[in-house]
Structure 1
Amino acid sequence: MTSEPNLWRASARESFSEPPFDADRTVDLAVIGGGFTGCAAALEAAREGASVCLVEAQTIGHGGSGRNVGLVNAGLWLPPDTVRAQMGEAEGNRLLATLSEAPSRVFALIDREGIDCEATRNGTLHLAHSPKGLADLTERHRQGRAMGAPLQLLDDEETARRIGSTAFHGALFDPRAGTIQPLSYARGLARAAAGAGAVLHEQSPVQSVTRERDLWHVTSGRHILKARRLLIATNAYHLGLGPAFRPDFVPVHYCQYATAPLPPALLDSILPGGEGCWDTALVMSSIRRDRAGRVIIGGIGNGTGPGARVHAAWARRKLAALYPALRDIPLTHGWTGRIAMTGDHIPKIVAFGPDAYAAFGYSGRGIGPGTVFGTEAARALLSGSDTTLPLVPIRQHRETAPAVQAAYYETGATLTHAIAAR
């Protein structure tokens, strides 16, 4: 492995750096968290003419945004009918309609702000790992087409042609979607926000959040950020903040491994169309390329935890099973991110106090929903109206035994990876 295990940090074309929070300040909107949600919110607020200050405990994109697979998908993991069944017809359709446009909004932002993030809008492939997986994709195709989504159900031969492997029984192709270099995208959003007038501070962990009179007081180090409105956008990398708010979610890890750039002779038949892919397995895996010609394989599991060797060994076997020509190709990068999973797999916006939201729980789909939720949360907070939000804010959200659920996911992934692709 290289000295920088996270490929996205090693290959990012966008750079961003700002000093820690070092002086008291009063603004219209304070944002805590420098990922997709927080940076999109800061950018939107600044473009609307509001004063905005974002504080990030580490660096921009340090958390899940800089460890993402980089698939810009429409909708949620759940099929549309399941979303409507859980949320109700009106609310479900509201969320689905908003997120169906999420890739268009992401790629439009990239174009508008000139973000150098390897944006490739060639669609994504949801791969059927078994006959049962193909039946699931067939039903998802039916439901999506009923909503007007331009989905295409591919047979096994067309799937093999598109990915360069005969390992799958078919695929669901979504031409609305695509891939990006996720850390470059997060940094590009931050750069654009700063250019629009937002103030951003890295290496500025928040010790407490309190409400005093009509202002929120955000304490970082020896200084206080006072704000009329507040957005917490820490998602799966929440560090505390005191009693004001703590997002409740199930932490799930996802690890990825990348080859060095491959020569054309090896690369020409591997995802020649440039789609990003993930499969229908319960312990999900993903496969994609980057612009330099690396192949990136990922799967559920903590690549830095007790099962690290198991997950890394699985990645090598999985890559060889999909593409035998890559059997002896070393993996030069390996990194892990943490996902905020909710029990119903639906994101949350919690209105935990006056003029204050927390947005989290994208359950592995951070790019599109994070961008949309951050943008719309900023608009709603500044306007005082929540009518444009993707879903109705709730007062609180609680998960049942999140630590137990997290252990279940990791144990299942480790056991599966110990025996899979042998």
Structure 2
Amino acid sequence: MTSDLASCLWHQTCQENPAFPDLAGEAEADLVVIGGGYTGCSAALKAAGLGASVRLIEAEDIGSGGSGRNVGLANAGLWLPPEDINAELGAKAGNRLSALLAGAPGMVFSLIEKHAIRCEPERSGTLHCAHAPTGLKDLQRRHAQLTAIGAPVELLPREEAVRRTGSDAVHGALFDPRAGTIQPLAYVRGLARAAAGAGAQLHGNSPATAISRKGGTWHVATPKGSIRARHLIMATNAYARGISGYDAPQVIPVHYFQAATDPLPAALLQKILPGKEGCWDTALVMSSWRLDQAGRLVIGGMGALNHCGSALHRNWLPRKLAALYPDLKEAKLRSFWHGRIAMTTEHLPKILDLQDGFACFGYSGRGIGPGTLFGAAMAEALLTGDSACLPVPPVRDHAIPFASLRSAYYETGAALTHLVSNR
């Protein structure tokens, strides 16, 4: 693990707490899923709904990885704007991916409603905020590309962005009404509960220790048991562990940390994000902020909290909060935590073809909608034998040169930025 989960706000306030036993003994299934995050739980739910027998194993507790540590912004699309996606995938595949991901927030909120998931859903949209006048150029480019493919986004001038955020520190914003915020851990645990209710069998504290494929059957071993299955989905993303017989696809690990205030008084909540949109900015070293259901302001930025330089991140956060909202300059920040993001060089998610199985990874910080979509699509493709439903064409191999050095570059850049900014 990368941080003490007891200090994570989402683990303190989660209203979805289903319990799943360790895997013990031998089991058989149509599909075995490794990883209990958005991708894995969505895959298990979809497969069970299609009538398949499913076993999902998670090394720790459901949502203990990035799914239980992120900001909780259920966004439409990816970090890349549409034309950049098309440059990587080609116009046909790129436009299809953008169209599918445009509907991903709707998929998320529909599942929340259908399964009565208690995850503080707030579909009030998101605001991509210009951190400086120069940030408006990026927002204008994104607005032009998104509206060209029919996205209902709106470019807000500075005055309106200030009114919507309650902060004089923003210089305009791109509003996306399709998106919203959720309690991210509660959502993934709600998906797990729904999957179990549909007939899937889920197991916590059951890390995969060895994987092999013999005679068209996958064999997965855990410390106390084993599973034989026709199909396999590897859904570990940024939290892959060493497994005998399996080389996890390389990703660039990037970290993101957060903290939360105490619930704000009613007078401040009338000024700060009165519409309850989730926000992030255009800075190269990105920041985000949002409210939870209790009125806490949750604020974060790029960086990890588990190394000797992490004090730079912790010391920067109160300065950033005060720069956004001077009324909060004396506010105490609590519940510091961080999580890990899996990036690819293209900033695009990948599906690796494992032969009667898939591995999915590389959401680059956009895991909620894409993870839900990709997990369900992979389960459907495996069980129906039709890969046409996959959001991206699967690939046979994947490599990232110097992935660890690239990760260190991002962390060093974030630490140096936080050393000098907002002083």
Match of 1:242 in 2: 244
Match of 1:158 in 2: 160
Alignment of 1:212 onto 2:195: no
Match of 2:185 in 1: 183
Match of 1:136 in 2: 138
Alignment of 1:192 onto 2:189: no
Cα pair distance change 1:151/1:3, threshold 3 Å: closer
Aligned to 1:24, the other structure's residue is in SS state strand
Aligned to 1:166, the other structure's residue is in SS state coil
**Per-residue CA distance 1:332-383 (angstroms, 9 max, x = gap):** 211000000111000000002x201001100000000000000000000101
* Count of residues in correspondence between the two structures: 420
Match of 1:368 in 2: 369
Aligned to 1:21, the other structure's residue is in SS state coil
Displacement, 1:241?
1.7
Aligned to 1:379, the other structure's residue is in SS state helix
Cα pair distance change 1:381/1:245, threshold 3 Å: farther
Matches within 5 A, 1:26-105: 26-105=28-107
**Per-residue CA distance 1:108-129 (angstroms, 9 max, x = gap):** 0111111000000000000011
Displacement, 1:3?
9.2
Match of 1:417 in 2: 418
- Partners in 2 of 1:278 and 1:358 — Cα distance? 29
Aligned to 1:362, the other structure's residue is in SS state coil
Aligned to 1:313, the other structure's residue is in SS state helix
From 307, 324, 342, give the equivalent of 1:340.
Answer: 342
- Partners in 2 of 1:401 and 1:388 — Cα distance? 33
Match of 2:383 in 1: 382
- Partners in 2 of 1:411 and 1:391 — Cα distance? 32
Displacement, 1:244?
2.6
Structure 1 runs (4+) deviating above 6 angstroms are none
Match of 1:392 in 2: 393
Match of 1:120 in 2: 122
Q: TM-score, normalised by structure 2?
A: 0.98
Matches within 5 A, 1:229-268: 229-268=231-270
Displacement, 1:222?
3.8
Displacement, 1:133?
1.1
Relative to structure 2, which stretch is displaced further, 16-25 or 227-236? Answer: 16-25
Displacement, 1:304?
2.4
Structure 1, unpaired ranges of 5+ = none
Displacement, 1:4?
2.8
Match of 1:277 in 2: 279
Percent identity over paired residues: 56
Letter in 1 for 2:279: C
Letter in 2 for 1:308: S
- Partners in 2 of 1:8 and 1:303 — Cα distance? 17
Aligned to 2:258, the other structure's residue is in SS state strand
Displacement, 1:224?
1.4
Q: TM-score, normalised by structure 1?
A: 0.98
Aligned to 2:36, the other structure's residue is in SS state coil
Is the 2:5–2:11 contact (alpha carbons within 8 Å) kept by the matching residues of 1? Answer: no
Is the 2:5–2:337 contact (alpha carbons within 8 Å) kept by the matching residues of 1? Answer: no
Relative to structure 2, which stretch is displaced further, 8-17 or 236-245? Answer: 236-245
Match of 2:173 in 1: 171
Aligned to 1:144, the other structure's residue is in SS state helix
Aligned to 1:15, the other structure's residue is in SS state coil
- Partners in 1 of 2:220 and 2:6 — Cα distance? 33
Match of 1:19 in 2: 21
Displacement, 1:305?
2.2
- Partners in 2 of 1:227 and 1:325 — Cα distance? 57
Aligned to 2:267, the other structure's residue is in SS state helix
- Partners in 2 of 1:75 and 1:304 — Cα distance? 31
Aligned to 1:227, the other structure's residue is in SS state strand
**Per-residue CA distance 1:64-103 (angstroms, 9 max, x = gap):** 0000100000011011011001111111111111101100
